[in-house]
Structure 1
Amino acid sequence: MSRLYLPTTHTMRCFQVSAKHLSFTLAAEELNLTQSAISKQVALLENSLQVKLFVRYRQKLELSPAGSIYLSHVNSILRKIEESSKEMLSYGVFEEVIKIASHPSLSSAWLVRALKGFTAYYGDIQLSFYEQNIPYDPLEVDADIAFVYGYGGWHNMEAVELFNEEMIPVCHPDILAKNLGKDEADIYFKARLIECRSRLNTWDHFFERLNQDYPDGYRSLLFERWSSCISAAKTGCGLALVPKVLVESDLKNGTLVPASSHRLNGLGSYYMIYPKSHSGEPKVKMVRDWILTYLEKEYLAM
């Protein structure tokens, strides 16, 4: 059998904290060890890996190129171990843990609100959220249930369509106030258009729906996430065409306003999905029924 290179978590922690301070002395103080003990652990790690992780000077340390690469892996490994350990600890406190995966923007803007009161009602259940950036494969996510944007048809997954996507152009109230009384198209000609990389064609579709050409000298701000697009719009950077579900609270409190009376229906919908083999599990049924009841109440309140 080939040799396994598996340093202990203690050794990795000694390296991690030494890299944090670039000092064996300061690492020893944080970990309540001696300086020689820290130095010995790092040396053992370097001997095992057969590579220098630090460049040693008389008064200071610097990470070597290999050390920088290894540190990123060690940080990830130790963080994962900590998260997994905390999850295991929760099993001793709660009778059941339900793992829920969702896009970060949807989770903060809608899902947390939709599940408000769930843990109070089911006192012996913990909800554990895993925020995943779309696109991702639901089959690869270790979750009991997931909330995703898509087009349906996931293999071996039960998909419950929650609501269609409605895109709405929004901006800071000052932008609308400065253009009060002007033709709606003038706003698009003068403001920057904020875009999300995952939906680069939304403004194209919006202008096509209005039978309007792209504004001359079209300028845009491009962001990785919807949350960044929304933040940019809040600070007055321009107009953002975003899913309405993500800005409903901002529209209610007035931090954002609709930049147009026009809307754009997205191509996909938001779904609640879970493995077909788990559809009969009580914890899946509890979340599913709770969400559907919430949507029914929300619809009746409209």
Structure 2
Amino acid sequence: MRQRIPSLSSLRAFEAAASHLNLRRAAKDLFITESAVSRQIIALEKFLGVELFRRANKRVTLTTAGAAYSRQVRDLLGQLERNTLDLMAHQGSGGIVELACVPTLAVEWLIPRLPDFYAKHPQVVVNISAMTSIFFFDGAPYDASIHFGSDVYPGARTDLMFGEESIVVCRPDYFAGRTTVSELEVATAPRLHLASRALDWKLWIESAGIDLANPMGGARFEHHTMVISGVLAGLGVGLVPRFLVEQYLVKGQLLSPVKHFLRSPNAYYFVTPDSRPMSDAVARLREWLLEAAHDFAGA
């Protein structure tokens, strides 16, 4: 059965022209002439029976249909390129995993453990992108995600990795060299907040039984790494997940001056989409990741 699919050359010409809204620049990208780009687009419009561009005064703009189709074509060409590079790089074995991950977890926990994964699976490559919010896998370039939140994720399967406990940390010399202080001393010191978890310090203070006039006071930072850097710089005390500061505690760069901690109702999950089968590369990463998370949680 003959498939109704446009030629790849016409789709590439259309995508380039849609990106630049300029035929001359599109032609330069494709190393062909401007007239060749124009002919490819006209042939595509004739094939589809739909006008993709409006042409006026030597300028081109996308129609509503053209704008929607350009997004779809861009995604498809991008996926085709990734699949091609994957095949070329691994000669048909192994594969590439596009992983979206909470940035601080990636920097402080995942990446330091990846040498063990590569030692066991040298044929698999894991590309990591920063992602802090829920997204829909349909239309996204990711094969999997490490998500912080609940076990409910739209259109996806979730595997529990581990929960989270946030502890108070400060520089060893912050409280005049004392390694143990009271919860009240912590609560009344300059507190560094994570902007996306604005209530954490308030919850910690209330659960410690302290009545403070302004538990929300203090500087706010976008990422946990910024909070940790602020604490290392002596700007104040931080409330951060224990696993993110283990290395600083072991090296003596930071200390936790109180035992009281805050347990989060959320956890870290490995997330894969329901809408597509799991590749061999993703399955290998999942198996290794859950084992590493189990060992870490047990430790």
Q: TM-score range by the shorter chain?
A: 0.5 to 0.7
Correspondent of 1:93 among 77, 83, 89 = 89
Which whole-Å CA distance do the structure 2 matches of 1:222 and 1:135 have between them? 19
Give, in whole Å, the separation in 2 of the partners of 1:219 and 1:165: 23
The match for 1:8 is: 25
C-alpha deviations, 1:214-273, integer Å up to 9, x for none?
267974111111111111011111011112222222222221111321110112111100
Q: 1:247 aligns with which of 228, 245, 248?
A: 245
SS for the counterpart of 2:148 is: strand
**Contact 2:180–2:257 (CA under 8 A) maintained in structure 1:** no
> 1:268 aligns to what SS in structure 2?
strand
Alignment of 1:129-278 (within 5 A): 129-132=128-131, 134-139=132-137, 141-179=140-178, 183-189=182-188, 191-214=189-212, 219-278=217-276
Write the deviation string for residues 83-138 of structure 1: whole angstroms up to 9, x where unpaired.
Answer: x9799645422241111110211101111134332222222221111122x12415
| CA distance in structure 2 between the aligned counterparts of 1:182 and 1:166, rounded to whole angstroms | 20
Aligned mates of 2:245, 2:200 — CA distance in 1? 16
Q: Normalization by structure 2: what TM-score?
A: 0.68
Q: Structure 1: give runs of 5+ residues left out of the alignment.
A: 13-46, 51-80
SS of structure 2 residue aligned to 1:173:
coil
**Residues 146-176 of structure 1: per-residue CA shift (max 9 Å, x gap):** 1010112112200011111211111111114
Q: Contact 2:161–2:294 at 8 Å: present in 1 too? A: no
C-alpha distance in structure 1 between counterparts of 2:180 and 2:297, whole Å: 34
CA distance in 1 between counterparts of 2:249 and 2:83 reads 36
Change (3 A) 1:152 1:9: same
Higher mean C-alpha deviation, range 280-289 or range 225-234? 280-289
Please, which moves more after superposition, 193-202 or 275-284?
275-284
> Structure 1 length as normaliser, TM-score?
0.67
Alignment of 1:51-90 (within 5 A): 89=85
Amino acid in the other structure paired with 1:206: W
Percent sequence identity over aligned pairs: 24
SS of residue in 2 equivalent to 1:105: helix
SS of aligned partner of 1:227: helix
1:192 and 1:218 in contact (8 A); partners too: no
Asked whether the equivalents of residues 183 and 208 of structure 2 are also in contact (C-alpha less than 8 Å), the reply is no
Gaps of 5+ in 2: 1-13, 30-56, 61-76
Q: CA RMSD in A?
A: 3.3
- Counterparts of 2:180 and 2:106 in 1: how far apart (Å)? 37
Separation of aligned partners in 2, 1:222 and 1:125: 38
Q: Distance in 2 between matches of 1:281 and 1:111?
A: 20
Secondary structure of the 2:153 match is coil
SS of the residue aligned with 1:229? helix
User: Which one of 285, 295, 298 corresponds to residue 296 of structure 2?
Assistant: 298
CA distance in 2, matches of 1:196, 1:279: 36
2 CA distance for matches of 1:128 and 1:218? 37
